[in-house]
Amino acid sequence: MLTYNFEKRGKQSLYEYLYQCIKEDILSGKIKSGEKLPSKREMAKNHNISVITVENAYAQLIVEGYIYAREKRGYFASEISRQYMKQGLQKNNQHNKNIKDRNGCRMKEKQEWLVDFNSNHIMYDNFPFSTWSRIMRQTLLDKERSFLKSPSPNGVLELRQAIAGHLSHFRGIDVEEDHIIVGAGTEYLYSIIVQLLGKNSVIAVEDPGYRKISKVYESNGVRCLHLPIDRSGIQMQDMKGKNIDGVHISPSHHFPTGRVMPVSRRQDLLNWARENHGFIIEDDYDSEFRFSGRPIPTMAGMDSNHVIYMNTFSKTLAPSIRIAYMVLPDELMRKFRDKLGFYSSTVSSFEQYTLANFISMGYYERHINRMRNYYRDYRNTIISAIRQSDIYSKVTIEEENAGLHFILGIRKQINDDKFKEILRNNKINISSVSDYCYNDLEEFNHKFIINYSAVAKDKLAKALEIMNEAL
């Protein structure tokens, strides 16, 4: 007869302890498969516990498959494979070993830089914190119930309406809120585009270009072609005969060169899209930060049937606010509803309502205007500092008048990698345009990217001195 010492059970309930003991005996082989267990009554009597307790323990063992019941015959141990038993018992040791192994795959510590020209963090002091939290609180009160419901697959209606209003006002395009898809970041939206265009599709991206874009596409199984840009952008002759399904571009502000695609090339690309049943993915990131003249018009405004317009709030508000959106052409929106309408929205309703209020109450445009002025001033300060420094005779500033970075060209024929290494050894972090090239494009050598928004003014002079010495 099985006998267990119930005094050892600690905080466990009687039935849990009994369940655990029998389970361990089955796993260790002490109770053999097919072996008959004591009846509930016997087991209860033997341990001076109630029949109900035994019943509960047996019931749990049956549910988990350790024992089975035969009518009128009793309870029997199931067949549990020998091979597994050892592993089951060794689990705890293995687990401890694993913990040690795992330390190898923790994230690397971040280095402390004197100046980090790669950092694009916004200045937190500029985030409209009190307004945002006031609207959050208000949303919490107003929307108590409705924010607990699942939003529509393409996002909360109020947010899509607010985005449509913003696009009409700010980007001069009229879009239907029904054609907007809200998602948890642009990267997520790229994966939706892949599903709309098909996994065997080919997407052309700009070379140089933002590496993450093709990484995300490729991770989602698409083939990316990196087409070298000229002054106007992707070149039409490179598009021929390649069965391209989509072209991902930033016509209003190319990264990293800052170039604007002129209307003629836009037309060429739209004609290509019309003739080849292709789509332009217009990545309009950063278009809010143009420091002179009018905003550059969108391609979506030129042909809404062939352009997927896309933008994000992560750049303008805060990177931790994971809300981006895209506007789909009719054909793709129908496809989304037919084939992908089963998806749940990836952004919490609460944040969607908060952002909707923030936009429709006018705070978003006000924030962008304030940030644009802030960045313009900050950029001018940084550029003035360069102009007044000894380095100025050795460089060119290719500002292109927009965005959160500009290009510093080096007049000398230097080795870009060596230059970066020297700077890094002096705690200056910087990237070259060639870091963003896939092909070997000579035109983009000796150009460096100055993300100025996180550069501390008081450390810049020292950094420029070091850079000057390295040239």
Give the closest residue to 447 by CA, choosing from 457, 456, 437: 437
Least CB distance from residue 265 to a second copy, whole Å? 7
The least CB distance from residue 304 to a second copy, in Å, is: 7
Query: What tokens were used for 359?
Result: 């936009």
Task: Please report, in angstroms and rounded to a whole number, the separation of the first and last CA atoms in the chain.
Answer: 87
CB of 361 to a second copy, least distance (A): 18
Closer CB to a second copy, residue 339 or residue 457? 339
CB atoms inside a 10 Å sphere around CB 66: 20
Nearest CB to a second copy, comparing residues 1 and 63: 63
Residue 44 · residue 1 · CB < 8 Å: no
Contact 395, 411 (CB under 8 A): yes
CB of 188 to a second copy, least distance (A): 6
SS3 409: strand
Quick one: 13 or 388, whose CB is closer to a second copy?
13
Are the beta carbons of 211 and 189 closer than 8 angstroms?
Answer: no
Gap between the Cα atoms of 30 and 26, Å rounded:
6
Q: Between 11 and 412, name the residue whose CB sits nearer to a second copy.
A: 11
* 195 versus 445: smaller Cβ distance to a second copy: 195
Radius of gyration of the chain (CA): 31
Secondary structure class of 374 (helix, strand, coil): helix
CB of 409 to a second copy, least distance (A): 20
Hey, what are 80's tokens? 């549990």
Q: Which is nearer to a second copy, 336 or 419 (CB)?
A: 336
Separation CA 127–CA 114 (nearest Å): 24
Residues 296-305, buried b or exposed e (16+ Cβ, 10 A)? bbbbbbbbbe
- Return all residues near 290 (Cβ < 8 A) that are at least 6 apart: 252, 253, 296, 372, 401, 402, 403
- CB of 457: closest distance to a second copy in angstroms? 20
The three-class DSSP label of residue 340 is coil
- For residue 182, the minimal CB distance to a second copy (Å) is 11
- Residue type at 454? A
Nearer to a second copy, 266 or 446 (CB): 266
Cα(384)–Cα(421) distance, integer angstroms:
26
- Which backbone phi and psi does 98 adopt, to 5 degrees? -55, -40
- Output the smallest distance, CB 67 to a second copy, in A: 10
- Of 70 and 294, the one with the shorter C-beta distance to a second copy is 294
Q: Burial letters for 307-337: b for 16+ Cβ neighbours within 10 Å, e otherwise?
A: bbbbbbbbbbbbeebbbbbbbbbeebbebbe
C-beta closer to a second copy: residue 42 or 177? 177
C-beta of 152: minimal distance to a second copy in Å?
6
Q: Which is nearer to a second copy, 30 or 91 (CB)?
A: 91
The least CB distance from residue 452 to a second copy, in Å, is 19
